[in-house]
Amino acid sequence: MTGAGPLAGLRVLEVGHILAGPYATMLLADLGAQVTKVEPPGGDLSRQVSDAYFASLNRGKRSICVDLAAPAGQDRLHELVRDADALLVNLKPSAVERFGLTYEALKPFNERLVCVALTGWGMEAGDTPAFDYVVQAATGVAALTGEPDGPPMLPGYSSADNSAGLAAALGLLAQVVSGRGGQVEVSLRDVMLSQLNYHAAAWLNDGAAPRRLGGAHAYYVPAQLFPTAEGHLALFITHDGFWRAFAAEAGIEGYATMAERAARRDEVIAAVTKALAGDSAAAWEARLSPLGVPAGAVRTLPEALAEAPDAVIEAGGHRLVGSPFRIAGQVPSYGPPPRLGEHGDLL
């Protein structure tokens, strides 16, 4: 059946640009929340990228065009806040303060309002630019990515923005569930440091600095990408049972325990690389999957989407990847992205 979504009735205002904030509120809209973008006269900057780009972050929302720098715009903001459950702001700290987008500024208009400030470094850290790749560089993510003897690298998508968007949506819902209004802060820096959990713990507790391993896992061996006769294979051996099944299929002897494989990493990697060279990545996936061994051939995004047609939806004439949340008994309804000011005049 098609349901209204578990967040039906939740009213969320969004003030922000590009990715992290709009992604957070789109996830809420996918779950049934009414999300209203409060856009400046020029609109969300992502409108300038492409229609498909904007749609990928803003489907199913409403748009009201408001000049928050003008007194009339502030009056309109306060009207909107009175009927809202939450406000998510994705601007630099000085703009958040200047436009009165904090809980302290808006509490007189709605004491139960939940205000989420999604920034790069935190509200007290100033306006230092905090774009996704800059944050990945600053938090150690880039230093961990790439080949051991090569330069640091970045993943091919906006991992900091997307991760921060998820965290902001979770923080917003947590405060709403509490039944109290208040201020929630989420920064890209804190989110990425949090996601380096076990790497950070190793350094903070044992003084073990993380190393760049070419994408290999720091603890599990073998757990990385391997070349094959055709294509690359991701192999992720996390315990001895997986190793026994893999080693028997690949014709490798020894290295029976996780501790031994970690201690003899280079030998293990060499042995696995040699064995995998005897067949293609697709063939290895077909051989190992029935054995329960975590392995997968590297696919391009077009190939991955072709194999996951249920993940692709249509919204306003755009084909997009749908919500990652699958809820029993509910088929999400995806609305189109809003035209600038479609649901309210410029003030």
pLDDT in the model for residue 344:
85
For 83-131, the pLDDT digits (tens) are 999 999 999 999 999 999 999 999 999 999 999 999 999 999 999 988 9
pLDDT in the model for residue 257:
97
pLDDT reading at 1 higher than 50: no
The residue length of the chain stands at 347
pLDDT in the model for residue 288:
98
Question: Which own/partner contact pairs does 190-197 have at CB distance under 8 Å and 24+ positions apart?
Answer: 190/122, 191/160, 191/163, 191/164, 191/167, 192/135, 192/136, 192/139, 192/141, 192/159, 192/160, 192/163, 192/164, 193/139, 193/140, 194/167, 195/163, 196/139, 196/140, 196/141, 196/144
Q: Write down the CATH number for the domain with range 223-302.
A: 3.30.1540.10
For 17-32, the pLDDT digits (tens) are 999 999 999 999 999 9
For 220-278, the pLDDT digits (tens) are 999 999 999 999 999 999 999 999 999 999 999 999 999 999 999 999 999 999 999 99
Q: What is the DSSP code string of 139-207?
A: TTHHHHSS-TTS-----SS-HHHHHHHHHHHHHHHHHHHHT--EEEEEEHHHHHHHHTHHHHHHHHHH-
Q: Can you read off the two tokens belonging to residue 225?
A: 């990408």
Mean pLDDT over 323-334 rounds to: 91
pLDDT reading at 346 higher than 60: no
Mean pLDDT over 60-75 rounds to: 97
Burial class (CB in 10 A: 0-12, 13-18, 19+), 37: buried
- CA torsion 107-108-109-113 (nearest 10°) is 20
329: confidence class by pLDDT, cuts 50, 70, 90: confident
In CATH, the architecture of 11-195+312-321 is 3-Layer(aba) Sandwich (3.40)
Place of tokens 């080949």: 147
Which one of the listed residues 161, 190, 240, 345 is annotated catalytic? 161
Mark whether 51 is an active-site residue: no
Q: Can you read off the two tokens belonging to residue 266?
A: 């280079």
For 151-178, the pLDDT digits (tens) are 999 999 999 999 999 999 999 999 999 9
Fold agreement between 11-195+312-321 and 223-302: no
In the chain, what are the domain boundaries? Answer: 11-195+312-321, 223-302
Mean pLDDT over 61-73 rounds to: 97
2: confidence class by pLDDT, cuts 50, 70, 90: low
Question: Which own/partner contact pairs does 165-169 have at CB distance under 8 Å and 24+ positions apart?
Answer: 165/19, 165/20, 165/21, 165/22, 165/23, 165/24, 165/27, 165/118, 166/23, 166/24, 166/27, 167/191, 167/194, 168/20, 168/21, 168/24, 168/88, 168/90, 168/116, 168/118, 169/24, 169/25, 169/27, 169/28
Query: What percent of the chain has pLDDT above 70?
Result: 98
Q: Can you read off the two tokens belonging to residue 42?
A: 């020029």
Q: Note the pTM of the prediction, 2 decimals.
A: 0.93
pLDDT in the model for residue 4:
82
Mean pLDDT, the chain, whole residue set: 96
pLDDT reading at 345 higher than 80: no
pLDDT in the model for residue 305:
96
Mean pLDDT over 289-301 rounds to: 97
Angle CA 134–20–303, to nearest 5: 90
What is d(CA 179, CA 176) in angstroms, rounded to the nearest whole number? Answer: 5
pLDDT in the model for residue 231:
98
